[in-house]
Structure 1
Amino acid sequence: MAPALSMDSNSWDVISFAVDKGHGVKGLADLGLHTLPKQYIQPPEEQIINSTIVTDDSIPVIDLSNWNDPNVAEQICNAAEKWGFFQIVNHGIPIEVLENVKEATRRFFALPAEEKNKHSKDSSPSNNVRYGTSFTPKAEKALEWKDFLSLFYVSDDEAAALWPSACRNETLDFMKKSQFVIRKLLEALMKGLNVKEIDETKESLLMGSKRININYYPKCPEPELTQVLYSDYVKHFFRKAHDGKETVDFAKI
């Protein structure tokens, strides 16, 4: 049973509630807490301060509407080398596919805790499906303010058998429709390394494993004290979103 709304967020077993029982940070947010539980307060050196915020206009945003433009490949390689990540626009994945994933994400995380917890590290029948909150909650000095579902793709049959029905079809559809974009990005990166043609026997290795994570970032009572992701830019992005005290349901990167 969840603790009463009036209870001090530091006076009850947050780990048991959020991690062991599967309520996650969504469950904490639904309680209407006014202060952040101490388990989520980051050390001072990890907290977000204005002096470390990266400005939005410095983040690479790459328009993929014309793959034949040599500037596109150059931008991809430069962003990968200097930043390690970038945002893509006009990528060709239908907007309805993205909207369906967003809705499926909301639907999964709205499930009762006992349903979501069937896919936790301790309960999931496969390591390829894992629901959790934070990444290694029993080992971290401070927990991250997020819930996640990680889905590793092996085959359609395994996905049909093991992936949660609340989001299975939508995440599979997104994964398959994004393969074209991933391959084009790979081609651009390989050309940047002077590899003119991808060896078909090594293509699957270069493409990497097929995994999709859907994340849930509910509103946080004291966002400046906690952490969502480790990247400084991503921390800044979600800090701005939390400033408005709205639930963040889809990252832009």
Structure 2
Amino acid sequence: MVGATGALGAIICRQLVASGAVVVASGRSLDKLKALQSDLSAESVDIAQVDVRLDSAINVVIQGIVAAHGRIDALVNTTSVSRFADFLELDDEAWQEILDSKLMAYVRTCRAAIPYMIKQGQGDIVNISGRSARQPLPTHLPGGCANAAVNLLSKGLADRFYDDNIRVNVVAPGPIESERFSAIESSHHQNAAASARPALTRKIGEPSDIAEAVLWLLSSRSRQLTGVILPVDGGSTVCV
């Protein structure tokens, strides 16, 4: 579980533990990881501090998981950098930070985990992207571009490793009650003049809605699905 200390990551971990899975929760902050482990109060939860911007750090964690548990059945990626601003206010550094912490982080974790999944003859990957991949928000363009790339990456990996019995799917959250959503709403209202039309927000979801979708995609109940981008957005994405 990559990005375990965020609002979505924490509830996904909780649902996985409740389903009986052995979970390795990873993130940058060791203090937050320890707090999560204590909150879950489960012996089946390990933690691993990792900076997803570093390929070597990710490889060490993946190798450690295999050494400790013998295999890696599933990989869930949910990382993000909350940077919301007008296009003209975002320099190359801001764009690079977001792309590196989202798209390239997913590339690195998949590249590290997939060889082990091939060896064991099975694996499931779920990547979290977002509604902005298909419905651009003017104050969230770097994140939207990263999400769109995650969708394409996931479909490409699903096709590439289909014969290896590795499924790769995407959950694309819409409005979810969280600090991140509040930041998005605030940035949108502050820069309303930059948008030709308002974003459509219907029923705001809960982090548990995303966790349930992830759990289903990791289960045998979705065994015929791979390369799918599953919107969990309350119908708020106004495009096909």
Structure number with higher relative contact order (C-alpha < 8 Å, ≥ 6 residues apart): 1
- Structure with max Cα Rg: 1
**Same-fold status (TM-score > 0.5):** no
After TM superposition, the score normalised by the length of structure 2 is 0.23
Q: Which has the higher helix share?
A: 2
After TM superposition, the score normalised by the length of structure 1 is 0.22
Q: Which has the higher strand share?
A: 2
